[in-house]
Amino acid sequence: MREKTIDQLIRETWMAITKMYNEEAAKYEGTMSVGYVLLKIDPEIGTPSTALAPMMGMVVTSLSRTLKKMEEKGLIYREPNPEDGRSVLVKLTEYGHKMRDKSKETVLQFNQKIEDNFSVEELNTFKKVSKGILELINKRKIYKD
C-alpha cells in the first residue's frame, strides 16, 4: 500500500479528534461545537455574539443554531452589551460555567497526553510543520491562479 499523503494524515487525525471530543461531550449531553463555544466565551464579562463566529472560523448562521440550542439547555443567556447598544453579550449561566470547566479539562487532558507521549523536539517540529503548511496556504503559495 502506498504511504498516506500529508493531507490525508491531517484529515484523519482531525476526524479522530472530532469523534473523540464528540464522544466525551456526549457524556454530558453535549457536542464538540458546544464545548468549543463555551471555551470561547469570556467567563467573567461574556463575549459579544458578533465576535464569536470569527473567533471560531464559523459562519454566523450555523453558530446561531448552536447558540440557540445552548440557550435552551441553560448554558448561556444573552444581555444587551453595555458598551454597544446594538450588540448582545453572550454570558455563561452557572451550569454553563460548570460545563466550560469540563470542556477545558477535556482539552487539557488530551494535550497533556500528547505532551507525555512525545519529546519536546518532536512536538516543536510538529508545530513548525503545521504552521509552515498554514503559511503556505494563507500566502497562496500552493496553486497559481
Please identify, using beta-carbon distances, which residue of 65 and 78 lies nearer to a second copy.
Answer: 65
Position among 72, 85, 117, 139 found at the interface with a second copy (CB under 8 A): 117
Least separation in angstroms between residue 56's CB and a second copy is 10
In 3D space, the residue among 91, 85, 81, 106 whose CA is nearest the CA of residue 42 turns out to be 91
Least separation in angstroms between residue 100's CB and a second copy is 16
Least separation in angstroms between residue 65's CB and a second copy is 17
- Give the interface size with a second copy as a residue count (CB under 8 A): 45
Least separation in angstroms between residue 86's CB and a second copy is 28
Q: Does 66 bind a second copy (CB under 8 A)?
A: no
Q: Are 90 and 76 in contact (CB under 8 A)?
A: yes
C-alpha to C-alpha distance for 11 and 71, rounded to whole angstroms: 32
Please identify, using beta-carbon distances, which residue of 45 and 123 lies nearer to a second copy.
Answer: 123
Q: Does 6 bind a second copy (CB under 8 A)?
A: yes
C-alpha to C-alpha distance for 128 and 22, rounded to whole angstroms: 28
Q: Are 47 and 56 in contact (CB under 8 A)?
A: no
By CB under 8 A, the residues from 71 to 110 that bind a second copy are 106-107, 109-110
Q: Are 107 and 17 in contact (CB under 8 A)?
A: no
Q: Does 1 bind a second copy (CB under 8 A)?
A: no
In 3D space, the residue among 50, 53, 45, 46 whose CA is nearest the CA of residue 87 turns out to be 50
Set of cell numbers at residue 100? 466550560
